Amino acid sequence: MEGGYYDAGDNLKLHFPFAAAFTFLAWSATSFPDAYTGAGEMENFLDGMRWATDFMIKCHTAPDVLVAQIGDVDADHGFWGRPEDMNMGRPAQSIGPGNPGSDLASDYASTLAAASVLFKDSDPSYSATLLQHAKELIQFAFDHPGKYTDSISTSVYGSSNYHDEMGLGVAWIAKATGDPADLARAEQVYDEFAGDLDYNGAWINWDDKTPAFVAMMCELTSNAKYCDQLATWCNGKIDGSTYSPKGEIFIDKWGSLRHAGNVAAICMRAASLGVNSDKYLGFVRQQIHYILGSTGRSFIVGYGVNPPTHCHHRGASCRGPNDCCDPNCPDSNPNVLVGALVGGPMEANDYYQDRRDDYVMNEVALDYNSGFQMALAGLLDATGGATTTGPTEAPTSGPTAGPTSGSTPNHQCPGGSLDGCIALCPEEDADIYQACVHDCIDNCS
């Protein structure tokens, strides 16, 4: 089945994290459109979104049938090569009335409804088509309850619950339609399944969308019932989590920066809705700066100071069958996957190794980028849409001019650009270097 996106560094199409990622991405553009427009990326964004939603429509083969996963997990993981060189079988598995998947169907409904909001003005007909599919899928989810992982074999991304996805799907349909009846249904789901959802301590990832559901209800209603709950969740994560010495909020070792970006995304949306704005903006800025390079290295492929060059990704590492098509090849990836966020440190100690064979620290994935991108868009929106310059080489000797710890931003930019400013920061002391980079970001953005 043509279309869609591969999940991560492999060549599988895994629709549970795929839908979760594109819900976040659509949410970011509906919430912070000026950030995309100001960066000159809105048309590119909409093209990428349409590629995803066209594929979703193709996967929705009947009102109550949905393709859930494409590819043989074992065969795929045993192959390191370009997608165009694959020759193994590519089985597709689906959910339906006899093998339900309320979580996956609802996730698709969320993405399609959110995308219908995005395309409402530019392509009303397409927007209406997306919304119709979303409505059919959410009805399927309610009519045939069950977890998709109980209905297909060899699922890579497990599901622990489906009520969070159902709630988020209904909320997005309410956003898309503006119908009070749809909002009332979302409120009913919020209350009815409260016993099954952890509104205080939940993670936010491809499995648990509870915090996103809470944030959407705050967005839709401005009701303190939901907005206070959103504040409780963000405060719990920000104040109660472990942090690395250099400032990364550490939730879990698997894609630790993905988790940092996801928490930042939810709390960025909270800040934009007027919930503890100063506190949450400070937290988001800390996490985004960490990802972009405030510690002396960027975790974004092809961007900033000392970016990753060996991300765990088959297509990036293989120019041809005999050109570094080996996870243990020591050479840098010949294809630079610009913009991809790597997993990051696997412990709360800031240690990271740029090795292709370390998939915990160095794999990239759709859901790694989506929360980070939403948080970044929100931060750009909050700061007037300022952007940074493109990639640069890591500084070598580094003269000691430029900002130092404790300096006061003066809206002047040593070095003439963000990367030029960072290149002037002294590297001898990590704390001074980090403070200098922060000042550069403040003064040059």
331 has catalytic annotation = no
187 has catalytic annotation = no
CA nearest to 314, candidates 76, 82, 84, 5? 82
Give 70's strand partners: 13, 92
Q: 369, 343 in Cβ contact below 8 A?
A: no
Report d(CA 250, CA 290) in Å as an integer.
Answer: 12
Q: What is the largest CA-CA distance in the chain?
A: 68
Report d(CA 15, CA 177) in Å as an integer.
Answer: 25
CA 272 to mean position of chain CA atoms: 18
CA 70 to mean position of chain CA atoms: 21
Q: 335, 316 in Cβ contact below 8 A?
A: yes
Q: 269, 219 in Cβ contact below 8 A?
A: yes
CA atoms within 13 A on the CB side of 309: 12
Report d(CA 195, CA 202) in Å as an integer.
Answer: 13
417, two tokens: 């650009």
Catalytic pick among 54, 323, 354, 427:
354
Catalytic pick among 363, 381, 419, 439:
363
Residues 6+ apart with CB under 8 A from 371: 24, 204, 258, 261, 262, 263, 264, 265, 266
208 has catalytic annotation = no
Catalytic pick among 312, 350, 381, 442:
312
Report d(CA 3, CA 54) in Å as an integer.
Answer: 8
Catalytic pick among 10, 182, 187, 350:
10
The alpha-helical segments, DSSP class H, found in 223-276 are 224-240, 256-272
Q: Where are the beta strands (DSSP E) in 79-179?
A: 92-95
144 has catalytic annotation = no
Residues recognised as catalytic: 10, 312, 354, 363
